[in-house]
Amino acid sequence: MSKTDGEVLATPKRRGLSLDGWAVLLAFALAALVRAGLFKHVPW
Partner 1 sequence: MADAVVLPQVQPVRPAIQFLKLVPGVLLLGAVGYAGKLLEQNVGKYAKAHHWTFPNIEYVLWAILIGLAISNTVGIPQIFRAGVATYEFWLKAGIVLLGSRFLLGDVLKLGGASLALVVIEIAVAIGFMTLLGRVFGLKPKLTTLLAVGSAVCGVSAIIATKGAIDADDEDSSFAIAAILALGALALFTFPLIGHGLHLSDHAYGVWSGLAVDNTAEAAAAGALYSDVAGKLAVLTKTTRNALIGFVVLAYALYWASRGQAQAIGNKAAFLWQKFPKFVLGFLAISLLATFAFFNKDQIGALANLSRWAFLLTFAGVGLRTNFRELAKQGLRPFAVGAIGEVVIAAFTLGLVLGAQKIFHW
Which residues are near partner 1 by CB under 8 A?
1-2, 4-12, 18-24, 26-28, 30-31, 34-35, 39-44
Closest distance of CB 38 from partner 1, Å: 10
Rounded to a whole number of angstroms, the minimum distance from the CB of residue 44 to partner 1 is 4
Rounded to whole angstroms, the Cα distance separating 28 from 36 reads 12
Beta carbon of residue 34, minimum distance to partner 1 (angstroms, whole number): 5
C-alpha to C-alpha distance for 13 and 22, rounded to whole angstroms? 17
Half-sphere exposure of 22 (CA within 13 A, CB side): 5
